[in-house]
Structure 1
């Protein structure tokens, strides 16, 4: 049977740096949550995973500007009309919302980036008044450190858990409808009609990601070192 323009073909959607970011952040969130509940010596891992999350978010904010096509924020920021049409099931043929992140997936990405950023920031200045302090806690007033700690140990972590739970529920929902959202985030490819724009994912792109990742980790190391120098 001859192929047509509508015949699905493997198309690179998620570049390797985006995939590594996704799964590494997921692991970091799990480690942070579990180690925080265990406490004691496990808090060392809590801090390490938190620093990893810090670096990952810093990297993703830049990668959202220069990464592969479908990893760029500009390609999954939707106008209100597009979102309404999506929710009503009236998406127009020219709206490629099922290629990368759809409107709900877009909300999930931005919400997680935002709340993880807040969680990292509050963790950096937190002080549990027992044995653990963030590296920057000396630079804020005690009232600020106390408020940050309350948020970090309370609403912050549960908002993240809620968002992650909704993300997993969405994956299950789409799987039941015949759409596998996990496999493309593992392989990078989705079966899409010929002519669908693909994300750049060559070695030059990956080298750029490596440089940006190193810069993000340098930023994390510098911020952490401020606490050691104070």
Structure 2
């Protein structure tokens, strides 16, 4: 099956075919997802309460996670790799046209539209966390790199940081709404597999290959070192 899924298979046939539980999401991907949820919420709370030192630490942790996710998207497990779930825009729109159709979920990884949502969220998180390193609004939330750029540039990046936050929140709301639509309209539970890692799929579907947890630990350690160098030495 193309992209280890059954995008081109008959959904009617899939619903009656023998099924089994398949591990589709590895532990590093699931940890990234849920830690990001927690840290984005923490970033919002600390900003609202003006706990800027904590806000900066949360942002740095988020940046390490985002760098890790980019690396994991290149070298990680099959369902985590960008090359495996990024489809053409035409396929993404074609998938969206099937939203009103109630059908079993036989997609191993991200669907054609969901892959673009993942890419957008990772890109927005990267812009938001990197701009936070430079952010300086002349009050209290001074990023660790803000002193090495002119004030006008720092203020511009600060504006990008503020606008980027609003755009990212809008994307998060869209993401949550899409999950709800899939559950209510299509009858597909997208949250459960991201919690357990497993999904019930037809026997004919090949389980995706998983990368080593040692590789994940190495990539995350590298990501932490990169963020530490940015925050401390530059």
- TM-score (normalizing by structure 1): 0.87
Mapped contact 2:128–2:161 kept (Cα < 8 A): yes
Instruction: Please name the residue that 2:30 is paired with.
Output: 19
Corresponding position: 1:163 with 2:171: yes
In the TM superposition, structure 1's runs of 4+ consecutive aligned residues that sit over 4 Å from their partners are none
Say which of 160, 173, 181 aligns to 1:173: 181
- Which residues in structure 2 correspond to 1:65-214 (within 5 Å)? 65-89=74-98, 98-153=107-162, 155-176=163-184, 177-201=186-210, 205-214=212-221
Q: SS at 1:145's partner residue?
A: helix
Say which of 49, 54, 59 aligns to 2:58: 49
- Number of equivalences: 214
- Once the two structures are TM-superposed, the CA of residue 152 in structure 1 deviates from its matched residue by 1.3
- TM-score (normalizing by structure 2): 0.85
CA deviation profile, 1:32-66 (whole Å, cap 9, x unmatched): 11111111xx2122111101110011001110011
Instruction: Please name the residue that 1:37 is paired with.
Output: 48
What is the CA–CA distance in structure 2 between the aligned matches of 1:130 and 1:85, rounded to whole Å?
48
Query: Where does structure 1 lack aligned partners over 5 or more consecutive residues?
Result: 91-95
- Once the two structures are TM-superposed, the CA of residue 10 in structure 1 deviates from its matched residue by 0.7
Instruction: Please name the residue that 2:232 is paired with.
Output: 225
What is the CA–CA distance in structure 2 between the aligned matches of 1:97 and 1:104, rounded to whole Å?
15
Q: SS at 2:212's partner residue?
A: helix
C-alpha root-mean-square deviation of aligned residues, in Å? Answer: 2.0
What is the CA–CA distance in structure 2 between the aligned matches of 1:113 and 1:97, rounded to whole Å?
25
Query: Where does structure 2 lack aligned partners over 5 or more consecutive residues?
Result: 1-14, 100-104
Mapped contact 2:106–2:202 kept (Cα < 8 A): no
Q: SS at 2:143's partner residue?
A: coil
Mapped contact 2:121–2:171 kept (Cα < 8 A): yes
What is the CA–CA distance in structure 2 between the aligned matches of 1:67 and 1:110, rounded to whole Å?
15
Cα distance change, pair 97–56 in 1 and its aligned pair in 2 (3 A): farther
Mean CA deviation greater in 74-83 or 12-21: 74-83
- Once the two structures are TM-superposed, the CA of residue 97 in structure 1 deviates from its matched residue by 8.0
